[in-house]
Structure 1
């Protein structure tokens, strides 16, 4: 796969260009969710990932073709890294006898909540909140309500409610554990996300350890908007509970590879204003340290693949598909990163130990 074809990969939540409508400038960005779902489904079918729920969010899943090995590998590395950071957050909560809240912003058709609820950490989740455009949440809400399997994991409520939870309208879901909130997170957080901390019936508690997830979301937002969003969340938890965040995104797009990616995306109606300040790996933690977080670190997907995934897992994956694009894989993965940030109130310094677990000697 040559660099000029990379924008059709799932790494930047790629999109279906036929959905672009000039009357709706956000349509191409929203459409990236469909291709992300197809990439996840492909990685599951080929054996890279285990996800019993992926197909439930893909219309006519049985008719969808699998993706190229390069796309499957990128989806595999990305998912492993984020899964492990989430797992480590929940394990720290369990070690301290507390529950956790997770907020996935720009969640799209992600199935992570259902995987967690079907796993060993289900009782640790006090709340799981997904936020996205109202057009996305409306479709997801109906998918969930129509599917007995998905609906069965939302919490002990016998009938989770379809609600209008945003000031601008849009359908979401409210239940004891899971909430789906329609919102444009580029707007001022006090307005767009007012439902999260409303005084009367807040969805989230400011005293529960909370983890934010941004899977290729901030790249589509002006830096000023993403910084305002992170600073707003930081202000909610400064003196009360640990706040963590995980960002997956592309970066360093000033080389020939990046310029071609930006050009191709622009021709289809998608821009990446959020990547402009982040020209190299060292710059990625800046978005956290300047918005009130205590610490931050970043890993490229290339490094994660080579240094954080066990030899046994590499051996297993090597049998799934014939891959002869090693140099191209390294090129692509070196332009994508996972960045974590954490805000730790005074007296809770033990939370600084939250990290992407390193391989032990002999595992590489």
Structure 2
């Protein structure tokens, strides 16, 4: 790979830190509860703008609603694959809520995975929940991967689908199990050809599946998904439980509502489904 593409990849890895610091700040102000974020990322030195915090709130709650709807439809008899997972804490939060799927997989650049593994190994509040759900012998762990009974994290490049699929299969990914794939601000950093290949791979590999994508664009139907929908984040924000929205809107004064609306209009959540088991996945919405 050229040094130019290495630099580009480095910039993409940097977005992981930006997002994590923003989420950590929003959590510290009280937008949503996440007791695990503090173990992955330090508190931001400067305040984040209220519209940024509300944007992250809408993103986290929106993706979470679709994820929970999928878990409900499948009665947790499913697997979740988080693509470009970064320092995401969903596994730990689902465990706390007793909503773990059969297995939770995360994939990201090896450099990010090794950082995440360092935090997991050195912080008992992160490692204990993994051990509590593990029923095998010792955990399989090396510099760029961890595999336990219910949680697996892999260093892989989403542009190299053959390598990623092999690694996932090695840690127990089952294509026949209903599968939720989640990507947040991931596809937009790949070339259109590579991201289309990823969507098509997911559509071809899992007969019963849902793909949830948070970013600025969507092309699920052209890559083999049976049904798809997309909502811009203003629509998502206004569909969230309004008593909770009222609560978070009291946390900080928002001077310019237009700024928030501009930000929310810039992003959308799209989702596509394939449903060979007729679980009613196409009915999932906000």
Conserved in 2, the CA contact under 8 Å of 1:246 and 1:338? yes
Matched with 1:275 is none
What is the alpha-carbon distance in structure 2 between the residues aligned to residue 227 and residue 115 of structure 1?
A: 30
What is the alpha-carbon distance in structure 1 between the residues aligned to residue 212 and residue 43 of structure 2?
A: 32
What is the alpha-carbon distance in structure 2 between the residues aligned to residue 171 and residue 41 of structure 1?
A: 24
Match of 1:246 among 203, 206, 212: 212
Matched with 2:55 is 74
Gaps of 5+ in 2: none
What is the alpha-carbon distance in structure 2 between the residues aligned to residue 298 and residue 25 of structure 1?
A: 28
Conserved in 2, the CA contact under 8 Å of 1:93 and 1:99? yes
Conserved in 1, the CA contact under 8 Å of 2:229 and 2:272? yes
Matched with 1:257 is none
Match of 1:160 among 139, 161, 184: 139
Match of 1:54 among 9, 31, 37: 37
Residue 25 of structure 1: how far off its partner (Å): 3.0
Residue 349 of structure 1: how far off its partner (Å): 5.5
What is the alpha-carbon distance in structure 1 between the residues aligned to residue 37 and residue 54 of structure 2?
A: 17
Conserved in 2, the CA contact under 8 Å of 1:103 and 1:212? yes
1:138 equivalent to 2:114? Answer: yes
What is the alpha-carbon distance in structure 2 between the residues aligned to residue 86 and residue 221 of structure 1?
A: 24
Higher relative contact order (CA 8 A, sep 6+): 2
Question: Within 5 Å, which residues of 2 pair with 1:12-31?
Answer: 24-31=7-14
Matched with 2:184 is 215
What is the alpha-carbon distance in structure 2 between the residues aligned to residue 288 and residue 81 of structure 1?
A: 18
Tell me which structure has the larger Cα radius of gyration.
Answer: 1
Match of 1:205 among 153, 170, 174: 174
Q: Tell me, what secondary structure is at the counterpart of 1:185?
A: coil
Q: Tell me, what secondary structure is at the counterpart of 1:139?
A: helix
What is the alpha-carbon distance in structure 2 between the residues aligned to residue 47 and residue 202 of structure 1?
A: 36
Runs of 4+ residues over 6 Å off in structure 1: none
User: What per-residue deviation string (whole Å, max 9, x for no partner) do you get for residues 306-326 of structure 1?
Assistant: 2x1233122211210011110
Conserved in 2, the CA contact under 8 Å of 1:38 and 1:64? no
RMSD across aligned C-alpha pairs, in angstroms? 1.9
Conserved in 1, the CA contact under 8 Å of 2:22 and 2:44? no
What is the alpha-carbon distance in structure 1 between the residues aligned to residue 5 and residue 168 of structure 2?
A: 32
Q: Tell me, what secondary structure is at the counterpart of 1:51?
A: coil
1:102 equivalent to 2:32? Answer: no
Normalized per residue, which structure has more helix? 2
Inter-CA distance 116–178: structure 2 relative to 1 (3 Å threshold):
same
Inter-CA distance 161–311: structure 2 relative to 1 (3 Å threshold):
same
Gaps of 5+ in 1: 1-20, 164-169, 251-277, 279-283, 357-364
Match of 2:255 among 320, 324, 328: 324
- Give the structure-2-normalised TM-score: 0.92
Q: Tell me, what secondary structure is at the counterpart of 1:88?
A: helix
User: What per-residue deviation string (whole Å, max 9, x for no partner) do you get for residues 120-166 of structure 1?
Assistant: 313xx111110000100011111111111111122224742213xxx
What is the alpha-carbon distance in structure 2 between the residues aligned to residue 105 and residue 88 of structure 1?
A: 19
Conserved in 2, the CA contact under 8 Å of 1:108 and 1:136? yes
Question: Within 5 Å, which residues of 2 pair with 1:177-326?
Answer: 177-187=150-160, 189-197=161-169, 201-238=170-207, 242-250=208-216, 278=217, 284=218, 287-306=219-238, 308-326=239-257
- Give the structure-1-normalised TM-score: 0.73
Inter-CA distance 202–178: structure 2 relative to 1 (3 Å threshold):
closer
* Farther-moved stretch of structure 1 (130-139 vs 312-321): 312-321
What is the alpha-carbon distance in structure 1 between the residues aligned to residue 193 and residue 163 of structure 2?
A: 16
User: What per-residue deviation string (whole Å, max 9, x for no partner) do you get for residues 15-46 of structure 1?
Assistant: xxxxxx99633111101111111111111111
